[in-house]
């Protein structure tokens, strides 16, 4: 598998952490739409009536600050650093756009999906 194949796989929409969040919310009785393309950032989960969206962010791709999973790879640093910086900048713009349109958002980080009870608490209090 070369790097581009590997990247496509990692970036595919139905990633582990996202599935954890979806299954949990579904089991709690919440219903949502996925990846609505008409909203900024194509949010992972959309709660239309509540005007709320949830993003499940990979700690690496979205450069979760102060996180163990996040680091710019030593090899190919000049390839990764600008790419990851762009992702982060895009996230900032997306959040501003959503706010402007009157949507509330929650970011769930990949590392936060490891503790189901804590995750549940965050999701329920947001929704």
User: Which of 39/70 has CB closer to Zn ion?
Assistant: 70
Torsions phi, psi for 86 (to 5 deg): -65, -40
Binding flags for Zn ion, 42-81, as an x/- string (CB under 5 A) = -----------------x----x--x-x------------
Q: How many residues bind Zn ion (CB under 5 A)?
A: 6
Question: Minimum distance between the CB of residue 108 and Zn ion, rounded to whole angstroms?
Answer: 10
Stretch that binds Zn ion, among 31-39, 81-89, 107-115, 116-124 (CB under 5 A): 107-115
Query: Alpha-carbon distance 109 to 10, whole Å?
Result: 15
State yes or no: residue 106 binds Zn ion (CB under 5 A). Answer: no
Helix (H, G, I), strand (E, B) or coil at 72: coil
Query: How deeply is 6 buried, as exposed, middle or buried, from its count of CB atoms within 10 A (0-12, 13-18, 19+)?
Result: exposed
The residues, ordered by sequence, that sit 6+ positions from 24 with a Cβ below 8 Å of its Cβ are: 116, 119, 120, 123
Residues that bind Zn ion (CB under 5 A): 59, 64, 67, 69, 109, 111
């Amino acid at each position: 598998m070369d790097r581009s194949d590997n990247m496509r796989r990692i970036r595919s929409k139905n990633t582990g952490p996202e599935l954890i969040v979806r299954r949990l919310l579904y089991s709690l009785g919440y219903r949502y739409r996925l990846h609505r393309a008409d909203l900024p950032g194509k949010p992972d989960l959309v709660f239309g009536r509540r005007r709320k969206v949830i993003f499940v962010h990979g700690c690496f791709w979205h450069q979760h600050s102060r996180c163990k999973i996040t680091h710019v790879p030593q090899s190919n640093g000049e390839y990764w650093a600008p790419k990851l910086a762009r992702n982060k900048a895009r996230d900032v713009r997306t959040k501003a756009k959503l706010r402007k349109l009157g949507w509330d958002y929650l970011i769930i980080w990949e590392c936060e999906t490891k503790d189901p009870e804590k995750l549940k608490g965050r999701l329920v209090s947001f929704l």
